[in-house]
Amino acid sequence: MVPVVQLKALFVVFLLLFVVACGSSSKKYELPEEEKDIYAALKHDDIEYHEEEKVITKHSPEYLVNGVNELRALYFRKKYEEATELSIRLLKLAPSLTEVYYWKARIAMDLSDFQQAYNMASKGLLYVEDPNMQKELERIKGMAQMGAQ
């Protein structure tokens, strides 16, 4: 039979280990960028190691922001053909850019192409994250459905 004192000591050790483990997992281990090599990744689960530079990247937001601003301006100036051309170019580079689908839907509404307006709004809803934009897209969908009836 193991002495009770030793059992208690063992329990305290386990408890301490448990507390230390909780503490370390709640803090994200940060290594400088240049040290995030494969060895660091093996040691620490939190570090992501990328064998190559192939990561999902974002294009310079400036280009997309400028593009969407221009798209909006073209819409309000009723230059629908130019706006459509620009929207295609933007979507090729940013296929989940919700704003583009939104403006395409509005153009389609103005041109009374309710089916397309509905479809564009539906596609935009696949990617939307902003709740206000979501409401707008759903509103257009509803209007397009009414317009088609």
Partner 1 sequence: MSKNREGLLRSLGHILITALVLVVFAIVYMDAWLIEKFEGNKWSLPAIVYARPLELFEGREIGSQDVIRELQASGYRQGGGRPGSYSFDGRRLSIFQRQFYLPGKLQPEQTITIEFAADKIDSLKTSSGGAYSVRLEPVEVGRIHTKKKEDRLLVSIDQVPQYLIDALLITEDRDFYSHYGVSPKSIARAMYSNVKEGKVVQGGSTLTQQLIKNFFLSSQRSFFRKIIEAIMALLLEVHADKDEILEAYVNEVFVAQSGGRAIHGFGLASEHLFGLPIEQLEIQHAALLVAMMKGPSYYNPVRHPERALERRNLVINLMADNKKISKSDAEIAKQQPLGLLDSREMPASYPSYLDLVRRQLRRDYSEKALSTKGLKIFSNMDPQWQWRAQAQLQKGIQQLEANYGARAAGIDGAVVVVDTVNSDVLAVVGSKTPRVSGFNRSLDARRPIGSLVKPAIYLTALEQQYNLMSKISDDALTLKTPQGVWQPNNYDQQFHGEVPLYQALAKSYNVASARLGLDIGIDKVSVTLEKLGLEKKVPKVPAMMLGAIDLAPIDVAQVYVTVAGKGFYSPLKSIHNITDQAGNIVKRYPFKLEQRFAGDVMHLLDYGLQNVMHEGTGKSVESQFARNSVIAGKTGTTNDLRDSWFAGYDANKLAVVWLGKDDNQPLPVSGSTGALPIWANIISGNVNTYGRNKVPANINYLWVDKNTGELSGELCEQSIYMPFIEGTEPKQQAACIMSTRTIIHWFKKWFQ
Q: Which residue has the tokens 């090599």?
A: 37
Site for partner 1 in 65-94 (CB under 8 A): 66-67, 81, 84-85, 88-89, 91-94
Query: Stretches 4-12, 31-39, 71-79, 121-129: which one binds partner 1 (CB under 8 A)?
Result: 121-129
Residue 145 binding partner 1, by CB under 8 A: no
- CB-count exposure of residue 129 (10 Å: 0-12, 13-18, 19+): exposed
Distance CA 6, CA 68 (A): 70
Binding mask 27-66 for partner 1 (x = CB under 8 A): ---------------------x-x-xxxxxxxxx-xx--x
Report yes or no: 38 and 53 within 8 Å, Cβ to Cβ: no
Give the nearest distance from C-beta 25 to partner 1 in angstroms.
Answer: 8
- Report the Cα 92 to chain-centroid distance in Å: 17
Tell me the three state secondary structure of residue 94: coil
Binding residues (CB under 8 A) for partner 1: these are 21, 25, 48, 50, 52-60, 62-63, 66-67, 81, 84-85, 88-89, 91-96, 115-116, 119-120, 122-123, 126-129
